[in-house]
Amino acid sequence: MADDLFSSFDRQPVPPLVAASTVRARGDQRRRRGRVALAGTGAVVVVLAVGAGYAVVGGGERDSLEPAPVAIASGRPTPSAASTPPSPAASPSPAASPSPAASPSPAAPASPAASPSQTTKPSPSAQADGLDADDYVALENIGPVQFGMTVEQAERAAGQRILEPPGPRDFENADGSGYCAFSTPETGSPDVAFMILSDVVSRVDVTGGSAVRTRSGIGIGATTAEVQAAYGDRLVIEPHPYGSSDDHYLRYVAADDTYSLIFETRDGVVESFRAGLFGAVAAIEGCA
């Protein structure tokens, strides 16, 4: 039985033994062929890489893609991009300098008329003429003083103070309002008196020997006939409330009832006249 089990194995051909020297020789040959193949593969890779680099440099933007030269032959380092001197194109262009036309033009001097002190709040010294004997009386004013101004405004316009007489004011309330007083220019010129009602210049009275006249030229001493000739149909002749039959009020009728003008005559001659706000002029006894 044992002969039958191993008979087939024994019958397999056994390869001949190879000498050890032969095995070593064959191994050396295989190693040499591997080194040659590896060297050839490396050369092919280098050639392909170099060829690809030049292909990129040649086909694209050369200035931006070309690799910096490697200093192998000379042994000196290639200058870096940071050490490269700046291009002349980077220097500021002369065109960037400001044009002469861009310089600001001189500002125009402000007009004196724009000064608030000259237009809205004149001082007494700023009034060249002020109030004087040459000013005439009109329905709305005497010279630069307008009826309806406050005393302070009137003083600035007149260029002088307007003084109240000494003593208590008539009809003055506890809070200082509602009073009435006759005040005169500090210089005495013109020879007039202002009726002040609660700090408002309400009328002007011309009396005695004053030389002040109306715009139409009527003054103290004018006759009734002269007044009638100057004012015509707008003049209304009324009896004087305290005089004789020869004494009259000559009242000028204005276009509206804001202002009024009244002449008082004695024996046919003007002895006084007054003008201003209608209610103040109508007050026969003034502040009494």
**Domain boundary assignment for the chain:** 20-74, 130-282
Angle (CA) 228-277-213 rounded to 5° is 45
Q: How large is the greatest C-alpha to C-alpha distance in the chain, in angstroms?
A: 194
Higher-confidence position of 120 and 216? 216
What is the three-class DSSP state of 273? strand
Could you identify the residue written with the tokens 């008539």? 170
Q: Please tell me the predicted confidence (pLDDT) of residue 92.
A: 47
Per-residue pLDDT of 151-184, as tens digits, reads: 999 999 999 999 998 878 888 888 777 899 999 9
pTM of the model: 0.56
Tell me the two tokens of residue 192: 């007039």
Identify the three-state secondary structure at position 219. Answer: strand
